[in-house]
Amino acid sequence: MFLSRLFNALNMSVQEQVVSEILELNEKTKVYGLALKPQDVELMLAARSQVLCGYSRVELGIEVTKELIELFSASAFIRQEDYLDTLNELHEIFYDLKNETEDQISDMKLIHKMKEVFEEDCGGSLDFLKSKLEEYAGSFRRELQQNDYLREGEDDDWYPKM
């Protein structure tokens, strides 16, 4: 009984720390007219948890969330009234893309690719972003398969070990 109360207290402490870290980003995003309230952060984290669960993923840190906020807040296409919904959708797109590219691309590279396509090709449309990144993921997977095919038949054991 005592152990479960201790665990819940630790979990609440971690949750409060995460909320606090994300709220600190308001100092950077307010120059773009964007800010999250504590209840917005809690809603975003709940949506993020659902996305992670839906994609059978585990994410221990919040670095992806922080990078999405920092990078996308500078976009002229994001307005305060859509900010939370946009961040939630960006999480969905990111984790879908991570699965579709078989975790072969680093988180930061993927987020920067998302931002580039969002700004340059999509004009701020999340639906168009999703579509363009599906094409990107398909192309990426084909390239991975081609590289795997080219490596087939190679016998690493044949070469002497140094």
Is-contact 86 105, C-beta < 8 A? no
Rg (CA), the chain: 20
Q: Dihedral sign, CA of 109, 64, 92, 69?
A: negative
pLDDT tens track for 76-126: 999 999 999 999 999 999 999 999 998 999 999 999 999 999 999 999 999
pLDDT confidence of 7, banded at 50, 70, 90?
Answer: very low
pTM of the predicted protein model: 0.82
Query: Considering the chain, what is the average pLDDT of its residues?
Result: 87
Is-contact 68 90, C-beta < 8 A? yes
Q: How far apart are CA 120 and CA 114, in angstroms?
A: 10
pLDDT confidence of 161, banded at 50, 70, 90?
Answer: very low
